[in-house]
Amino acid sequence: MKRDHYLYSSGRLKRKDNTVYFEVKNERPKPLPVEKIRNIHVFGEVDMNNKVLTFLNSYGICVHFYNYYGFYSGSFYPRETQVSGYSVAKQSEHYLDENKRMYLAYSFLQGGIHHMKRNLRRYKEKTEEELLNIELEERKLQESRTIQELMGKEGRLRQIYYQAFTSILPEDFAYEGRSKQPPNDPLNALISFGNSMMYRAILSEIYRTQLDPTISYLHEPSTKRFSLSLDLAEIFKPLIVDSLIFSLINRKAITLKHFDMLEGKMCYLNEDGQKRFLRAWEETLARTVKHRKLKRNTSYRYMIRLECYKLIKHVINDVVYKPLKAWW
């Protein structure tokens, strides 16, 4: 089974003897089993050359880079192997047609809202008021006529959802408003780090399908970003990231000691905190449930791939897209 590999040490990634080695000063080079690696996440200062990137490309391995504070910097995205001009043309058609685009944009939000309410129902005694307010906002969402209007109403709904975090989490992680660039408290730092990992996981699954990651529906396509990852993440962030955050904090697997502050303005997960989160992250993505249609155990990670396949079937007018809504 393929897995993600995380590099925290500083060193050099190089090709040798038809495999890849990670060299760290004063340590014996470690071979990386490329045939078993899905993605490489680089958190340290790592040197690599064209030779190793070409080799990783041949195995379809994405390399994601993060800065010193764990914030996403960019990706090496291998040459697509599942290219389909027909699928891309149909994908673009659904973006250019306002009604078709609205259907998909609203569908992504439907899936996300279902999972938000699912999370809050687990703490219903504490979040009853927020649940009622989310349902009111959800009804207003159906009245939207433009993407901008849809996004505005979704923003108000998400604000209500985040406010419920204060009732779910201990006082040290009270929600005091969403801050992203940069996050200014531990909860925001954890949300941002988790969401970033979610975008990378989705991008890696999109790469393995015929979808173009730059053509999106809810989020406006633009240069230098894979905006379709943001669209699909609306479904999976509450399902995977938020539930994982609740678990880690409430079990005290992550505490305030796992965060550092920079100049009193930027909060970020330190290395120990990142590693703790990523261990739980990999365990969560590997978790399986019995799929209703496939009639077999399916991992959370593969659920993302299935969502991509459903989107392809929709844009080629095969099967109407319905977002994932967890039934388990």
Which value, to the nearest 10 degrees, does the dihedral of the CA atoms of residues 218, 223, 224, 228 take? 20
Domain ranges of the chain: 3-76, 85-315
* Burial profile 150-168: b = 16 or more Cβ within 10 angstroms, e = fewer: beebbeebbebbbbbbbbb
The chain-wide mean pLDDT, for the chain, equals 94
Binding residues for Mn(2+), as ranges, are 154, 219, 234
Digit-coded pLDDT (tens) for 38-50? 999 999 999 999 9
Binding residues, as ranges, are 154, 219, 234
Q: Which fold has domain 85-315?
A: Four Helix Bundle (Hemerythrin (Met), subunit A) (1.20.120)
* Burial profile 209-220: b = 16 or more Cβ within 10 angstroms, e = fewer: bbbbbbbbbbbe
Identity (one letter) of the amino acid at 226? F
User: Residue 26 has what pLDDT?
Assistant: 86
Please give the C-alpha separations between residue 293 and each of 120, 270, 297, 301, 325, in angstroms, as whole numbers.
Answer: 27, 41, 11, 17, 13
Q: How many CB atoms lie within 10 A of CB 261?
A: 13
User: Residue 225 has what pLDDT?
Assistant: 81
Q: How many CB atoms lie within 10 A of CB 63?
A: 23
CATH number listed for the domain at residues 3-76: 3.100.10.20
Identity (one letter) of the amino acid at 322? K
User: Residue 79 has what pLDDT?
Assistant: 82
User: Residue 264 has what pLDDT?
Assistant: 78
* Element containing residue 286 per DSSP (H, E): helix 271-286
Instruction: Taking residues 269-277, report their average pLDDT.
Output: 97
Same fold, 3-76 and 85-315: no
Digit-coded pLDDT (tens) for 209-266? 999 999 999 999 976 689 999 999 999 999 999 999 999 999 999 999 999 999 878 9
User: Residue 80 has what pLDDT?
Assistant: 78
134 close to 117: Cβ distance less than 8 angstroms = yes
Digit-coded pLDDT (tens) for 129-172? 999 999 999 999 989 999 999 999 999 999 999 999 999 999 99
Cα separation, 94 vs 203, in Å, equals 20
Q: What's the chain's length in residues?
A: 328
Higher-confidence position of 1 and 294: 294
Q: pTM score, two decimals?
A: 0.94
In the numeric block, which tokens belong to residue 102? 């609205």
Instruction: Taking residues 165-187, report their average pLDDT.
Output: 93
